[in-house]
Chain A
Amino acid sequence: MTDIFAKYAGLKAAAAGLTAHSPRNPFGVVIDHPVSATIGVIEGRETLLFGTNNYLGLSQSKAAAEAAIETVRREGVGTTGSRIANGTFALHRALETRLAEIFRRRHCMIFSTGYQANLGAISALAGKDDVLLLDADSHASIYDASRLGYAQVIRFRHNDPADLDRRLARLKDHQGAKLVVVEGIYSMTGNVAPMREFAEVKKKHGAYLLADEAHSFGVLGEHGRGVAERDGCEDDVDFVVGTFSKSLGTVGGYCVSNLDGLELIRLCSRPYMFTASLPPEIIAATLAALDEMQARPELRKQLQANAGQLNRGLHKLGLKTSAHVSPVVAVTLETVDQALAFWNRLLELGVYVNLSLPPATPDQHPLLRCSVMAVHTPEEIDRALQVFGQVKAEILG
């Protein structure tokens, strides 16, 4: 009998090599429980959380928790069905209406996760006779969507509208629809897309533009609608995909558009149709989180201030960070051994960040992915920077 796991021999060796040089499995961290949005108990110690996607701190929103509790008592814990069968409650429709209003679009579909939102929207929009043009640093959900949808897939250089322009020009005789996919803020590096330039290129070539604002919703733009709002080009972005599991603190995803065809996607998008819909308490908590996000614009201002403090602080320590100031700050290191030692020491000193290793990183270098929240205090950020400084001296000299 052929060993079904034989193909993972390389992965097994790589994982064993990692844990051999690390006192703990970097991909098996357990947060025993959160104490607050910014502090969790890890290995029995209160640890500052600088590696989440909880940009506004709303995972710990009291109002969202109360809404969930009240709803779960009234409606139960789950729907047990697909959106196209028994899985659409009035709450699902209410959340779709609410998101459409927030984005000032006619249509909204919600999905059970952000991953499925990309998978479901992109795979259904770009079919076998179409061309999908992806930023080279796209999230796995976007690449996976491209495999589910059978479209021809072409990568363009990361955040490079001129490269997209060249590639669309080469497709001038192609008869299929062209869908360009970019992200607002890139999750690993914190890089921000030049959305207006991308929008100009897509208009020039008659393509569609889909922006994944997963990490920028609630973060950028006067009303928190993301990079397209900040850059004043929302009308030229045909589809916006996003998630509830970042700034809104819950789980789920959405796609909004002014194009009426989006409603047809409900009847052909497999990741939308063939999975259970979101539980009602999650919908209620998400609606409450949206209320809070809109009622407290000061959270976005504080988030930007905190992002500046963390970014400048890491830069001042002589660490290599992106030029973009966003709530995600990636520290690039040279070797995996360095990154592993750095990451372990940070955790031992009470600071949790994400460790990201090649090939999951854009340029073959390991990253320490740090993210900041609106609810981090300046003292907490200073403490994290102090620990970073200490560990840098210990590990890098």
Chain B
Amino acid sequence: MTDTVESISSMIVEKLLANPKVPRDIDGNSKIVEDLAFDSLAVMNFVMEIEDELDVSVPLDKLADIRTINDLATCLAALKSGAH
């Protein structure tokens, strides 16, 4: 199966919603720090869960440019396709 930005974004939202503390109305445009109230450590730990799912590793410097769930999905899709 090809992992598209859309499919990865949906998977991320689904995983986030499994956490009862995360607001119910999130979507791909939600900002990870501002809208989800994640601190930097929480972001890194959450990304680890997604990494396992997709069998990729996200270098920490890539996280600095990520603001929304869709940004994260775009980064993961690129890593998955070997573009980075």
Contact = CB atoms under 8 A, between A and B. Distances in A.
A153 B60 contact: yes
A146 B60 contact: yes
Interface of chain B, main secondary structure: helix
A153 B59 contact: yes
Contacts of A155: 44, 48, 60
A152 B57 CA distance: 11
Contacts of B42: 359, 364
Interface in B8-57: 39-42, 44-45, 48, 55-57
Interface in A248-307: none
A136 B48 CA distance: 10
A167 B44 contact: no
Interface string A307-333: 000000000000000000000000000
A170 interface: yes
A93 interface: no
A154 B59 contact: yes
Nearest to B51: A167
A137 to B, nearest CB: 10
A155 B40 CA distance: 13
A106 interface: no
Nearest to B59: A152
A12 interface: no
Contacts of A204: none
Of listed B40, B45, B60, residue having the most chain A CB within 10 A: B60
Interface size class of B (residues with CB under 8 A): 10 to 19
A157 interface: yes
Contacts of A166: 55
Contacts of B45: 136
B48 A167 contact: no
B61 interface: yes
Interface in A146-167: 146, 152-155, 157, 166-167
A167 B55 CA distance: 9
B39 A359 contact: yes
Contacts of A153: 59-61
A167 B58 CA distance: 10
A153 B39 CA distance: 19
A11 to B, nearest CB: 12
Contacts of A157: 48
A378 to B, nearest CB: 38
A154 B56 CA distance: 10
A4 B45 CA distance: 30
Contacts of B55: 166, 170
A270 to B, nearest CB: 19
Nearest to B55: A170
A170 B48 contact: no
Contacts of A170: 55-57
Interface in B59-73: 59-61
Contacts of A136: 44-45, 48
10 contacts: A136-B48, A146-B60, A153-B60, A153-B61, A154-B57, A154-B59, A170-B57, A171-B57, A359-B40, A364-B41
